[in-house]
Amino acid sequence: MTNVRTRFPPSPTGYLHIGSARTALFNYLFARQHGGEFVLRIEDTDRERSTDEAVKVILDSMEWMGLDYDEGPFYQTKRFDRYREVVEQLLADGHAYKCYCSPEELTEMRETAMANKQKPRYNGYWRDRSDPPGEGIEPVIRFKNPTTGSVVIDDAVKGPITVENSELDDLVIMRSDGTPTYNLCVVVDDLDMEITHVIRGDDHVNNTPRQINIFKALGADLPIFAHLPMILGEDGKRMSKRHGAVSVMQYAEDGYLRDALLNHLVRLGWSHGDQEIFSVGEMTKLFGLDNVNSSGAVFDVKKLDWLNQQYIQNASTDTLATGLVEHLGKAGVSTENGPAPALVADLLRDRAVTFAEMAQGAKPFYQAPTEYDAKAVKKQFSAVTAEHLQLVHDKFAALPEFTATAIDACLQASVAELEVGFGKIGLPLRIAVTGTTASPALDQTLAVMGQDRVLGRIKTAVEYCRSL
Protein backbone atom coordinates (compact mmCIF):
# COMPACT_ATOMS: atom_id res chain seq x y z
CA MET A 1 0.00 0.00 0.00
CA THR A 2 1.20 3.50 -0.69
CA ASN A 3 1.89 5.59 2.37
CA VAL A 4 -1.40 5.72 4.26
CA ARG A 5 -2.71 9.20 5.06
CA THR A 6 -5.94 9.73 6.93
CA ARG A 7 -7.63 12.88 8.13
CA PHE A 8 -10.03 14.14 10.73
CA PRO A 9 -11.87 17.26 9.55
CA PRO A 10 -14.31 18.51 12.19
CA SER A 11 -16.38 21.66 11.74
CA PRO A 12 -15.83 23.97 14.72
CA THR A 13 -19.44 24.73 15.53
CA GLY A 14 -19.74 23.51 19.13
CA TYR A 15 -18.41 20.77 21.36
CA LEU A 16 -16.61 17.75 19.90
CA HIS A 17 -19.32 15.14 19.58
CA ILE A 18 -18.66 11.62 20.76
CA GLY A 19 -19.40 10.39 17.21
CA SER A 20 -16.72 12.69 15.81
CA ALA A 21 -14.33 11.42 18.46
CA ARG A 22 -14.95 7.87 17.24
CA THR A 23 -14.21 9.02 13.67
CA ALA A 24 -11.02 10.70 14.87
CA LEU A 25 -9.97 7.55 16.74
CA PHE A 26 -10.55 5.23 13.77
CA ASN A 27 -8.55 7.52 11.47
CA TYR A 28 -5.79 7.79 14.04
CA LEU A 29 -5.61 4.03 14.57
CA PHE A 30 -5.65 3.28 10.86
CA ALA A 31 -2.82 5.71 10.17
CA ARG A 32 -0.74 4.49 13.12
CA GLN A 33 -1.24 0.86 12.24
CA HIS A 34 0.06 1.42 8.73
CA GLY A 35 2.88 3.67 9.83
CA GLY A 36 1.17 6.48 7.95
CA GLU A 37 0.16 10.05 8.75
CA PHE A 38 -2.91 11.45 10.45
CA VAL A 39 -3.94 14.97 9.46
CA LEU A 40 -6.16 17.39 11.41
CA ARG A 41 -8.17 19.84 9.35
CA ILE A 42 -10.55 22.42 10.70
CA GLU A 43 -13.50 22.86 8.35
CA ASP A 44 -14.38 26.40 9.26
CA THR A 45 -15.83 27.70 5.99
CA ASP A 46 -19.22 28.23 7.60
CA ARG A 47 -18.15 31.51 9.13
CA GLU A 48 -21.43 32.17 10.85
CA ARG A 49 -21.42 28.94 12.81
CA SER A 50 -17.67 28.50 13.35
CA THR A 51 -16.11 29.94 16.49
CA ASP A 52 -12.58 30.18 17.91
CA GLU A 53 -13.93 28.70 21.11
CA ALA A 54 -15.10 25.59 19.24
CA VAL A 55 -11.67 25.28 17.57
CA LYS A 56 -10.10 25.34 21.02
CA VAL A 57 -12.52 22.65 22.20
CA ILE A 58 -11.48 20.44 19.27
CA LEU A 59 -7.78 20.93 19.99
CA ASP A 60 -8.30 20.32 23.73
CA SER A 61 -10.36 17.20 23.07
CA MET A 62 -7.73 15.79 20.71
CA GLU A 63 -5.07 16.46 23.30
CA TRP A 64 -7.05 14.91 26.12
CA MET A 65 -7.70 11.81 24.02
CA GLY A 66 -4.02 11.68 23.08
CA LEU A 67 -4.83 11.49 19.38
CA ASP A 68 -1.65 13.13 18.10
CA TYR A 69 -1.78 14.35 14.55
CA ASP A 70 1.22 14.49 12.28
CA GLU A 71 0.07 17.47 10.24
CA GLY A 72 -2.23 20.39 10.84
CA PRO A 73 -4.38 21.81 12.09
CA PHE A 74 -5.05 23.16 8.61
CA TYR A 75 -7.80 25.75 8.38
CA GLN A 76 -10.05 25.84 5.33
CA THR A 77 -10.57 29.59 5.70
CA LYS A 78 -6.85 30.01 4.98
CA ARG A 79 -7.14 28.08 1.73
CA PHE A 80 -9.75 30.12 -0.15
CA ASP A 81 -7.26 31.17 -2.86
CA ARG A 82 -6.54 27.55 -3.57
CA TYR A 83 -10.25 26.65 -3.83
CA ARG A 84 -10.79 29.55 -6.23
CA GLU A 85 -7.89 28.35 -8.33
CA VAL A 86 -9.47 24.90 -8.63
CA VAL A 87 -12.86 26.41 -9.49
CA GLU A 88 -11.17 28.42 -12.27
CA GLN A 89 -9.58 25.23 -13.52
CA LEU A 90 -12.91 23.39 -13.54
CA LEU A 91 -14.48 26.31 -15.44
CA ALA A 92 -11.65 26.36 -17.95
CA ASP A 93 -11.89 22.61 -18.49
CA GLY A 94 -15.64 22.73 -19.01
CA HIS A 95 -16.43 20.87 -15.77
CA ALA A 96 -18.19 23.83 -14.21
CA TYR A 97 -20.33 26.73 -15.33
CA LYS A 98 -21.80 29.97 -14.14
CA CYS A 99 -25.44 29.87 -13.18
CA TYR A 100 -27.36 33.15 -13.16
CA CYS A 101 -30.64 31.89 -11.80
CA SER A 102 -32.22 34.25 -9.32
CA PRO A 103 -33.46 32.92 -5.96
CA GLU A 104 -37.04 33.30 -7.27
CA GLU A 105 -36.28 31.21 -10.33
CA LEU A 106 -34.73 28.52 -8.17
CA THR A 107 -37.76 28.44 -5.90
CA GLU A 108 -40.02 28.12 -8.91
CA MET A 109 -37.85 25.30 -10.27
CA ARG A 110 -38.12 23.41 -6.98
CA GLU A 111 -41.85 23.90 -6.77
CA THR A 112 -42.41 22.71 -10.32
CA ALA A 113 -40.32 19.60 -9.67
CA MET A 114 -42.27 18.83 -6.51
CA ALA A 115 -45.57 19.40 -8.26
CA ASN A 116 -44.43 16.77 -10.80
CA LYS A 117 -43.54 14.43 -7.91
CA GLN A 118 -39.84 14.78 -8.66
CA LYS A 119 -36.94 15.55 -6.36
CA PRO A 120 -36.59 19.31 -5.83
CA ARG A 121 -33.44 19.90 -7.78
CA TYR A 122 -31.68 22.25 -10.15
CA ASN A 123 -32.64 21.51 -13.75
CA GLY A 124 -29.36 22.47 -15.40
CA TYR A 125 -30.80 25.62 -16.97
CA TRP A 126 -27.46 27.43 -17.40
CA ARG A 127 -25.45 24.28 -18.07
CA ASP A 128 -25.06 24.74 -21.81
CA ARG A 129 -26.27 28.30 -22.32
CA SER A 130 -24.40 31.03 -24.01
CA ASP A 131 -27.11 33.73 -24.07
CA PRO A 132 -26.36 36.80 -21.98
CA PRO A 133 -27.36 36.70 -18.32
CA GLY A 134 -29.80 39.13 -16.71
CA GLU A 135 -28.44 42.44 -15.48
CA GLY A 136 -26.86 42.70 -12.04
CA ILE A 137 -26.99 39.03 -11.10
CA GLU A 138 -23.78 37.63 -9.58
CA PRO A 139 -23.58 34.03 -10.68
CA VAL A 140 -22.91 30.97 -8.58
CA ILE A 141 -20.59 28.34 -10.03
CA ARG A 142 -22.02 24.88 -10.50
CA PHE A 143 -20.25 21.63 -11.08
CA LYS A 144 -21.21 19.92 -14.33
CA ASN A 145 -22.18 16.55 -12.99
CA PRO A 146 -22.24 13.77 -15.60
CA THR A 147 -25.82 13.14 -16.69
CA THR A 148 -25.42 9.50 -17.66
CA GLY A 149 -23.86 6.44 -16.09
CA SER A 150 -23.40 5.84 -12.43
CA VAL A 151 -20.97 6.39 -9.59
CA VAL A 152 -19.82 3.44 -7.55
CA ILE A 153 -18.52 3.97 -4.05
CA ASP A 154 -16.38 0.98 -3.28
CA ASP A 155 -16.97 1.42 0.40
CA ALA A 156 -14.52 -0.41 2.65
CA VAL A 157 -17.23 -0.88 5.28
CA LYS A 158 -20.53 -0.97 3.44
CA GLY A 159 -19.40 -2.65 0.24
CA PRO A 160 -20.18 -1.22 -3.20
CA ILE A 161 -22.83 1.49 -3.33
CA THR A 162 -24.07 2.56 -6.75
CA VAL A 163 -25.71 5.89 -7.41
CA GLU A 164 -27.07 6.90 -10.81
CA ASN A 165 -25.74 10.21 -12.07
CA SER A 166 -29.27 11.10 -13.10
CA GLU A 167 -30.02 11.29 -9.36
CA LEU A 168 -27.45 14.04 -8.82
CA ASP A 169 -27.96 17.62 -9.88
CA ASP A 170 -25.34 20.25 -10.66
CA LEU A 171 -23.98 21.19 -7.31
CA VAL A 172 -23.04 24.77 -6.38
CA ILE A 173 -19.29 24.74 -5.78
CA MET A 174 -18.90 28.48 -5.33
CA ARG A 175 -21.50 30.88 -4.01
CA SER A 176 -22.15 34.25 -5.64
CA ASP A 177 -20.08 35.96 -2.92
CA GLY A 178 -17.08 33.89 -3.99
CA THR A 179 -17.05 31.47 -1.04
CA PRO A 180 -16.49 27.84 -1.93
CA THR A 181 -18.88 25.14 -0.69
CA TYR A 182 -18.27 22.11 1.49
CA ASN A 183 -18.10 19.39 -1.19
CA LEU A 184 -15.57 21.31 -3.24
CA CYS A 185 -13.33 22.19 -0.30
CA VAL A 186 -13.26 18.63 0.95
CA VAL A 187 -12.18 17.26 -2.42
CA VAL A 188 -9.50 19.90 -2.94
CA ASP A 189 -8.17 19.35 0.57
CA ASP A 190 -8.21 15.57 0.37
CA LEU A 191 -6.33 15.86 -2.91
CA ASP A 192 -3.79 18.43 -1.79
CA MET A 193 -3.25 16.66 1.51
CA GLU A 194 -2.79 13.38 -0.36
CA ILE A 195 -5.38 11.60 1.72
CA THR A 196 -5.51 7.90 0.87
CA HIS A 197 -8.41 6.86 3.14
CA VAL A 198 -11.51 8.88 3.90
CA ILE A 199 -13.00 7.31 7.03
CA ARG A 200 -16.07 9.21 8.20
CA GLY A 201 -19.58 8.89 9.54
CA ASP A 202 -22.20 7.50 7.21
CA ASP A 203 -24.14 10.76 7.42
CA HIS A 204 -21.73 11.79 4.66
CA VAL A 205 -22.47 8.89 2.35
CA ASN A 206 -24.78 11.08 0.24
CA ASN A 207 -21.97 13.53 -0.41
CA THR A 208 -19.54 10.90 -1.58
CA PRO A 209 -20.87 10.34 -5.15
CA ARG A 210 -20.72 14.09 -5.74
CA GLN A 211 -17.21 14.24 -4.38
CA ILE A 212 -16.14 11.27 -6.51
CA ASN A 213 -17.36 13.07 -9.63
CA ILE A 214 -15.33 16.14 -8.70
CA PHE A 215 -12.25 13.99 -8.08
CA LYS A 216 -12.72 12.48 -11.51
CA ALA A 217 -13.21 15.85 -13.19
CA LEU A 218 -9.90 16.91 -11.69
CA GLY A 219 -8.28 13.81 -13.16
CA ALA A 220 -7.38 12.57 -9.70
CA ASP A 221 -7.18 9.08 -8.25
CA LEU A 222 -9.87 8.33 -5.70
CA PRO A 223 -9.11 7.76 -2.03
CA ILE A 224 -10.61 4.70 -0.38
CA PHE A 225 -13.89 5.56 1.30
CA ALA A 226 -15.10 3.96 4.52
CA HIS A 227 -18.37 5.08 6.05
CA LEU A 228 -18.82 4.27 9.70
CA PRO A 229 -22.15 3.18 11.17
CA MET A 230 -24.21 5.71 13.02
CA ILE A 231 -23.96 5.85 16.81
CA LEU A 232 -27.26 5.09 18.47
CA GLY A 233 -28.59 5.52 21.98
CA GLU A 234 -29.85 2.51 23.89
CA ASP A 235 -33.33 3.03 22.45
CA GLY A 236 -31.99 2.59 18.91
CA LYS A 237 -32.39 6.28 18.03
CA ARG A 238 -29.51 8.47 16.90
CA MET A 239 -27.30 9.28 19.89
CA SER A 240 -28.22 12.65 21.34
CA LYS A 241 -28.13 14.50 24.62
CA ARG A 242 -31.14 12.53 25.78
CA HIS A 243 -28.92 9.45 26.01
CA GLY A 244 -26.15 11.01 28.10
CA ALA A 245 -23.27 13.36 27.53
CA VAL A 246 -22.38 13.76 23.85
CA SER A 247 -19.37 16.02 24.26
CA VAL A 248 -15.93 14.48 24.69
CA MET A 249 -14.82 17.07 27.21
CA GLN A 250 -17.86 16.34 29.35
CA TYR A 251 -16.49 12.82 29.85
CA ALA A 252 -13.14 14.29 30.85
CA GLU A 253 -14.96 16.64 33.19
CA ASP A 254 -16.95 13.78 34.73
CA GLY A 255 -13.80 11.88 35.51
CA TYR A 256 -13.63 9.15 32.90
CA LEU A 257 -10.17 7.91 32.00
CA ARG A 258 -9.19 8.65 28.45
CA ASP A 259 -8.19 5.01 27.92
CA ALA A 260 -11.62 3.85 29.03
CA LEU A 261 -13.36 6.29 26.72
CA LEU A 262 -11.15 5.29 23.77
CA ASN A 263 -11.82 1.64 24.59
CA HIS A 264 -15.54 2.34 24.54
CA LEU A 265 -15.29 4.32 21.31
CA VAL A 266 -13.29 1.69 19.47
CA ARG A 267 -16.01 -0.85 20.17
CA LEU A 268 -18.64 1.38 18.56
CA GLY A 269 -18.80 -0.43 15.28
CA TRP A 270 -15.53 -2.37 15.47
CA SER A 271 -14.89 -5.70 17.10
CA HIS A 272 -12.18 -8.28 17.53
CA GLY A 273 -13.79 -11.56 18.48
CA ASP A 274 -15.55 -11.03 21.78
CA GLN A 275 -12.72 -9.11 23.40
CA GLU A 276 -13.96 -6.05 25.29
CA ILE A 277 -10.85 -4.50 26.77
CA PHE A 278 -8.24 -2.98 24.50
CA SER A 279 -5.31 -0.80 25.43
CA VAL A 280 -4.49 1.89 22.88
CA GLY A 281 -1.45 -0.18 21.86
CA GLU A 282 -3.63 -3.22 21.28
CA MET A 283 -6.24 -1.33 19.28
CA THR A 284 -3.50 0.11 17.13
CA LYS A 285 -2.24 -3.39 16.40
CA LEU A 286 -5.62 -5.01 15.83
CA PHE A 287 -7.78 -2.32 14.23
CA GLY A 288 -8.89 -2.88 10.66
CA LEU A 289 -11.68 -1.60 8.44
CA ASP A 290 -12.65 -5.16 7.55
CA ASN A 291 -13.94 -5.67 11.08
CA VAL A 292 -16.04 -2.53 11.12
CA ASN A 293 -19.69 -3.36 11.25
CA SER A 294 -22.00 -1.62 8.82
CA SER A 295 -25.04 -1.46 11.08
CA GLY A 296 -25.62 1.07 13.87
CA ALA A 297 -23.49 0.93 17.02
CA VAL A 298 -25.10 1.43 20.40
CA PHE A 299 -23.55 3.78 22.94
CA ASP A 300 -24.31 2.14 26.26
CA VAL A 301 -23.36 4.38 29.17
CA LYS A 302 -23.49 1.44 31.59
CA LYS A 303 -20.85 -0.31 29.55
CA LEU A 304 -18.65 2.76 29.60
CA ASP A 305 -19.07 2.91 33.39
CA TRP A 306 -18.06 -0.72 33.67
CA LEU A 307 -15.02 -0.11 31.48
CA ASN A 308 -14.04 2.94 33.47
CA GLN A 309 -14.25 0.95 36.66
CA GLN A 310 -11.98 -1.71 35.16
CA TYR A 311 -9.48 0.95 34.14
CA ILE A 312 -9.59 2.60 37.56
CA GLN A 313 -9.06 -0.72 39.29
CA ASN A 314 -6.05 -1.47 37.14
CA ALA A 315 -4.56 2.01 36.88
CA SER A 316 -1.20 2.80 38.44
CA THR A 317 -1.34 4.56 41.79
CA ASP A 318 0.27 7.61 40.17
CA THR A 319 -2.43 7.87 37.52
CA LEU A 320 -5.11 7.57 40.16
CA ALA A 321 -3.50 10.10 42.46
CA THR A 322 -3.13 12.64 39.63
CA GLY A 323 -6.75 12.17 38.58
CA LEU A 324 -7.96 12.41 42.14
CA VAL A 325 -6.06 15.63 42.88
CA GLU A 326 -7.38 17.17 39.66
CA HIS A 327 -10.97 16.29 40.39
CA LEU A 328 -10.77 17.27 44.05
CA GLY A 329 -9.40 20.59 42.83
CA LYS A 330 -12.42 21.00 40.56
CA ALA A 331 -14.63 20.37 43.58
CA GLY A 332 -12.74 23.09 45.45
CA VAL A 333 -10.86 20.71 47.75
CA SER A 334 -7.12 21.09 48.29
CA THR A 335 -5.06 18.02 49.16
CA GLU A 336 -2.21 20.02 50.58
CA ASN A 337 -2.91 19.54 54.27
CA GLY A 338 -4.18 16.01 54.18
CA PRO A 339 -3.04 12.45 53.60
CA ALA A 340 -1.05 11.57 50.48
CA PRO A 341 -3.58 11.38 47.58
CA ALA A 342 -1.98 8.11 46.48
CA LEU A 343 -3.06 6.43 49.73
CA VAL A 344 -6.60 7.77 49.44
CA ALA A 345 -6.84 6.81 45.76
CA ASP A 346 -5.68 3.27 46.46
CA LEU A 347 -8.22 2.95 49.22
CA LEU A 348 -11.05 4.13 46.96
CA ARG A 349 -10.06 2.48 43.69
CA ASP A 350 -12.42 -0.48 44.13
CA ARG A 351 -15.45 1.66 44.84
CA ALA A 352 -15.39 4.48 42.31
CA VAL A 353 -16.82 4.41 38.80
CA THR A 354 -15.35 7.79 37.87
CA PHE A 355 -12.83 10.25 39.25
CA ALA A 356 -15.67 12.59 40.08
CA GLU A 357 -17.11 9.88 42.31
CA MET A 358 -13.72 9.12 43.78
CA ALA A 359 -13.24 12.79 44.60
CA GLN A 360 -16.60 12.80 46.32
CA GLY A 361 -15.54 9.82 48.44
CA ALA A 362 -12.16 11.41 49.15
CA LYS A 363 -13.52 14.70 50.46
CA PRO A 364 -13.71 13.54 54.12
CA PHE A 365 -9.97 12.82 54.04
CA TYR A 366 -9.31 16.50 53.43
CA GLN A 367 -12.28 18.23 55.02
CA ALA A 368 -13.82 17.57 58.42
CA PRO A 369 -17.56 17.01 58.20
CA THR A 370 -19.42 20.31 58.48
CA GLU A 371 -22.58 18.47 59.36
CA TYR A 372 -23.58 14.91 60.07
CA ASP A 373 -26.07 12.95 58.02
CA ALA A 374 -29.36 13.67 59.82
CA LYS A 375 -30.81 10.17 59.51
CA ALA A 376 -27.59 8.59 60.73
CA VAL A 377 -27.46 10.96 63.69
CA LYS A 378 -30.97 10.05 64.69
CA LYS A 379 -30.16 6.37 64.64
CA GLN A 380 -26.61 6.30 65.91
CA PHE A 381 -25.84 9.32 68.08
CA SER A 382 -26.85 9.65 71.75
CA ALA A 383 -25.36 10.55 75.14
CA VAL A 384 -24.18 6.93 75.45
CA THR A 385 -22.44 7.19 72.09
CA ALA A 386 -20.44 10.08 73.51
CA GLU A 387 -19.00 7.80 76.17
CA HIS A 388 -18.27 5.03 73.67
CA LEU A 389 -16.50 7.42 71.33
CA GLN A 390 -14.57 8.93 74.22
CA LEU A 391 -13.22 5.50 75.11
CA VAL A 392 -12.16 4.84 71.53
CA HIS A 393 -10.61 8.29 71.40
CA ASP A 394 -8.47 7.62 74.44
CA LYS A 395 -7.35 4.26 73.14
CA PHE A 396 -6.46 5.76 69.77
CA ALA A 397 -4.59 8.61 71.45
CA ALA A 398 -2.37 6.11 73.24
CA LEU A 399 -1.36 4.27 70.05
CA PRO A 400 2.31 4.75 69.19
CA GLU A 401 1.62 3.81 65.58
CA PHE A 402 -1.70 4.52 63.92
CA THR A 403 -1.87 1.52 61.59
CA ALA A 404 -4.93 -0.37 60.41
CA THR A 405 -3.91 -3.40 62.52
CA ALA A 406 -3.44 -1.30 65.66
CA ILE A 407 -6.72 0.53 65.03
CA ASP A 408 -8.54 -2.72 64.56
CA ALA A 409 -7.13 -4.13 67.81
CA CYS A 410 -8.26 -0.98 69.65
CA LEU A 411 -11.74 -1.28 68.25
CA GLN A 412 -12.01 -4.94 69.22
CA ALA A 413 -10.80 -4.12 72.74
CA SER A 414 -13.37 -1.29 73.05
CA VAL A 415 -16.19 -3.54 71.90
CA ALA A 416 -15.18 -6.16 74.46
CA GLU A 417 -14.81 -3.67 77.24
CA LEU A 418 -18.17 -2.03 76.58
CA GLU A 419 -19.89 -5.32 75.87
CA VAL A 420 -21.60 -3.98 72.75
CA GLY A 421 -21.83 -5.18 69.14
CA PHE A 422 -19.23 -3.79 66.70
CA GLY A 423 -21.84 -1.67 64.96
CA LYS A 424 -22.47 0.31 68.13
CA ILE A 425 -18.98 1.68 67.82
CA GLY A 426 -18.17 1.28 64.14
CA LEU A 427 -21.14 3.23 62.81
CA PRO A 428 -20.90 6.26 65.10
CA LEU A 429 -17.18 6.35 64.43
CA ARG A 430 -17.73 6.43 60.68
CA ILE A 431 -20.20 9.28 61.12
CA ALA A 432 -17.77 11.11 63.38
CA VAL A 433 -14.93 11.03 60.85
CA THR A 434 -16.77 11.19 57.50
CA GLY A 435 -20.15 12.66 58.33
CA THR A 436 -21.95 9.62 56.84
CA THR A 437 -22.13 5.88 57.35
CA ALA A 438 -20.55 5.06 53.97
CA SER A 439 -16.81 4.65 53.64
CA PRO A 440 -14.32 1.93 52.74
CA ALA A 441 -13.03 -0.40 55.48
CA LEU A 442 -13.05 1.59 58.72
CA ASP A 443 -9.60 0.63 60.03
CA GLN A 444 -7.97 1.55 56.70
CA THR A 445 -9.97 4.73 56.36
CA LEU A 446 -8.85 5.86 59.79
CA ALA A 447 -5.24 4.86 59.20
CA VAL A 448 -5.08 6.86 55.97
CA MET A 449 -6.84 9.80 57.57
CA GLY A 450 -4.17 9.98 60.27
CA GLN A 451 -4.17 9.99 64.04
CA ASP A 452 -4.48 13.73 64.74
CA ARG A 453 -7.28 14.26 62.26
CA VAL A 454 -9.21 11.26 63.58
CA LEU A 455 -8.77 12.30 67.22
CA GLY A 456 -9.94 15.83 66.45
CA ARG A 457 -13.04 14.61 64.67
CA ILE A 458 -13.95 12.13 67.40
CA LYS A 459 -13.67 14.93 69.94
CA THR A 460 -16.03 17.12 67.94
CA ALA A 461 -18.51 14.24 67.65
CA VAL A 462 -18.31 13.52 71.38
CA GLU A 463 -19.22 17.13 72.11
CA TYR A 464 -21.99 16.99 69.57
CA CYS A 465 -23.43 13.81 71.14
CA ARG A 466 -23.26 15.34 74.61
CA SER A 467 -25.22 18.33 73.36
CA LEU A 468 -28.08 16.15 72.10
Instruction: Please list the active-site residues.
Output: 241
Q: Is 437 in the site for ligand GLU (CB under 6 A)?
A: no
Give 54 or 324: the residue with its C-beta nearer to ligand GLU: 54
Instruction: Give CA torsion, residues 122, 128, 131, 135, to 10 deg.
Output: 40
Out of 4, 5, 6, 10, which residue is the one contacting ligand GLU (CB under 6 A)? 10
Smallest distance from the beta carbon of 187 to ligand GLU, in angstroms?
Answer: 9
Smallest distance from the beta carbon of 106 to ligand GLU, in angstroms?
Answer: 25
Are 365 and 449 contacting, i.e. CB atoms less than 8 angstroms apart?
yes
Stretch that binds ligand GLU, among 9-17, 240-248, 368-376, 392-400 (CB under 6 A): 9-17
Give 172 or 193: the residue with its C-beta nearer to ligand GLU: 193
Q: Is 11 in the site for ligand GLU (CB under 6 A)?
A: yes
Instruction: At 299, give phi and psi (nearest 5°).
Output: -90, 105
Give 99 or 186: the residue with its C-beta nearer to ligand GLU: 186
How many CB atoms are located within 10 Å of the residue 78 CB?
10
Stretch that binds ligand GLU, among 4-12, 248-256, 308-316, 378-386 (CB under 6 A): 4-12
DSSP secondary structure of 259-273: HHHHHHHHTTTB-ST
Give 168 or 186: the residue with its C-beta nearer to ligand GLU: 186
CA–CA gap between residue 196 and residue 207 (Å, rounded): 17
Are 255 and 327 contacting, i.e. CB atoms less than 8 angstroms apart?
yes
CA–CA gap between residue 204 and residue 20 (Å, rounded): 12
Please give the residues from 27 up to 46 whose contact with ligand GLU meets the rule CB under 6 A. Answer: 43
Give 155 or 357: the residue with its C-beta nearer to ligand GLU: 155
Stretch that binds ligand GLU, among 6-14, 229-237, 241-249, 290-298 (CB under 6 A): 6-14
Q: Which amino acid is at 128?
A: D
CA–CA gap between residue 55 and residue 66 (Å, rounded): 17
Give 9 or 428: the residue with its C-beta nearer to ligand GLU: 9
Smallest distance from the beta carbon of 218 to ligand GLU, in angstroms?
Answer: 16
- Report how many residues bind ligand GLU under the rule CB under 6 A: 7
Q: Is 200 in the site for ligand GLU (CB under 6 A)?
A: yes
Smallest distance from the beta carbon of 362 to ligand GLU, in angstroms?
Answer: 39
String of contacts with ligand GLU for each residue 203-222, x by CB under 6 A: -x------------------
Assign 3-state DSSP to the chain and report helix, strand, coil percentages, each to 5: 50, 10, 35
Out of 4, 5, 9, 101, which residue is the one contacting ligand GLU (CB under 6 A)? 9
Q: Is 180 in the site for ligand GLU (CB under 6 A)?
A: no
CA–CA gap between residue 210 and residue 168 (Å, rounded): 7
Smallest distance from the beta carbon of 327 to ligand GLU, in angstroms?
Answer: 30
Biggest alpha carbon–alpha carbon distance for the chain: 109
CA–CA gap between residue 408 and residue 455 (Å, rounded): 15
Smallest distance from the beta carbon of 200 to ligand GLU, in angstroms?
Answer: 4
Give 16 or 262: the residue with its C-beta nearer to ligand GLU: 16
CA–CA gap between residue 373 and residue 197 (Å, rounded): 58
Q: Let me know if 258 is exposed, middle or buried by CB neighbors in 10 A (0-12, 13-18, 19+).
A: middle
Instruction: At 302, give phi and psi (nearest 5°).
Output: -65, -35
Smallest distance from the beta carbon of 17 to ligand GLU, in angstroms?
Answer: 9
Return all residues near 400 (Cβ < 8 A) that are at least 6 apart.
none
Q: Is 364 in the site for ligand GLU (CB under 6 A)?
A: no
Give 206 or 294: the residue with its C-beta nearer to ligand GLU: 206
CA–CA gap between residue 324 and residue 345 (Å, rounded): 7
Out of 18, 87, 184, 186, which residue is the one contacting ligand GLU (CB under 6 A)? 186
Rg value, the chain, Cα? 32
Are 221 and 54 contacting, i.e. CB atoms less than 8 angstroms apart?
no
Stretch that binds ligand GLU, among 5-13, 99-107, 293-301, 410-418 (CB under 6 A): 5-13
Q: Which of 289, 311, 307 is nearest to 299 (CA)?
A: 307
Residues that bind ligand GLU (CB under 6 A): 9-11, 43, 186, 200, 204
